[in-house]
Amino acid sequence: MRRSRFVCMIAVAMSALSTIAIAAPDDGVDAAVSTMQPVEAFQIADNTIDQWIFQGVGGEAQGKDRINRQLKLQLDELADVCSLSEEQKARLTLAAHGDIKRFFDQVQAVKRRVQVVKNDRNAAGLAWQEAQPLQMKMTTGLFGESSLFARVVPKTLTPEQSAKYKSIVNERRNFRYRACVLAAVVQLEGQVALRDEQRQKLVELLVNETKPPKVFGQQNYQVVLYRLASLPKEKLKPIFDDRQWKLLEQPLMQGRSMEQYLVQSGFVEGPAK
């Protein structure tokens, strides 16, 4: 019995020694992995919020740089198209800087709140919820229709300047909407094969008879399907043969079912009452 106990103790000691040997500092990644495994502590890393909000940009500093450069391009375009006075330029710049400041204040506020609860696993979800609207804003741009900048533009420009600016904005929106429609029709062909003539008719119908989304983004295909489903049957049906029309039922249904989501998320306006 005593001998067996001795053997067991030796075995346990060797096993412990082997663990230490495996975790020797010269072992690079192995060592890091084996020493990290027992650590159960949870922590939201300091740069996590930056990674969430400034995804694909690099970080807060790079994000700020990109926003400032984009603002400059936007102001230059306005100045060029509308021949802005210095006073108008200053007013618009001030409004845009107000939007930028508000955005980065919100980023800092989220970071401060996360700092307090960074060791709380349950708080990670809440942190994500807070960061998500900011990430969305970073993605879609800071100077959208609810921004201070967008509200100041019509009050700053003369009617002639406004008309010129609107025409540029609409041209850009229409260009992008045509691209979205083309891509959506290509995508739709995964379900309903089309001849070129049909494809072209469908694209023109969508571009001419439906409106671009309020905001472009990852839901563009759903927006086009929703617009497609809203077209009057008498305009849509003649493009397709009977078999295609039957196959189109499913995507049309999908488009209709997206309405609530698209309206609530601000991609499209609500149905006219």
Partner 1 sequence: MRFRSASLPARRRSLTVVWVIAGLFMSLLSRPAASDDAKAKPRAAVENLPAADEAQAKPEPEKNDKKTTRPVAKKIENKNAKPVPADAEAAQKKAIEAYTQQFKQQFRPALNAELSFVRQLCDIPVAKRPVVRAAGEASLEEAAKKMAEMQQNQMRGIRAMGEITWPDPAKYVREGLVKSLQENLAPEQFAAYKKESELRSAARKQAAILCVVARIDDALRLSAEQRDKIVESIAAGWKDGWESWLMIEQYPEQYLPAIPDQFVAPHLSPQQKPIWQAWQKVNFGYWYQWNGQAVVDDDWWGGAPKKAEKPARPPGGDGPIEAIYRSLLGVKRVR
Amino acid at the residue 75: L
Min dist CB 197 to partner 1, Å, is 9
Of 107-115, 150-158, 188-196, 230-238, the window that binds partner 1 (rule: CB under 8 A) is: 188-196
Min dist CB 75 to partner 1, Å, is 10
24-63 mask for partner 1 (x: CB under 8 A)? Answer: --xxxxx--x---------------------xxxxx--x-
- How far apart are alpha carbons 173 and 166 in whole angstroms? 10
Tell me how far apart the 2 most distant CA atoms of the chain are, in Å.
102
Binding partner 1 (rule: CB under 8 A), the pick from 151, 183, 204, 257 is 183
Q: Is 46 helix (H, G, I), strand (E, B) or coil?
A: coil
Residue 90 makes contact with partner 1 by CB under 8 A: no
- How far apart are alpha carbons 153 and 187 in whole angstroms? 37
CA atoms within 13 A on the CB side of 45: 5
- How far apart are alpha carbons 267 and 258 in whole angstroms? 11
If residue 133 lies in a helix (H) or strand (E), which one and from where to where? Answer: helix 121-140
- Interacting residue ranges for partner 1, rule: CB under 8 A: 1, 4-5, 7-9, 11-12, 14-15, 18-19, 21-22, 26-30, 33, 55-59, 62, 65-66, 69-70, 72-74, 76-77, 138-141, 171-172, 175-176, 178-180, 182-183, 185-196, 199, 216-218, 220-221, 244, 247, 250-251
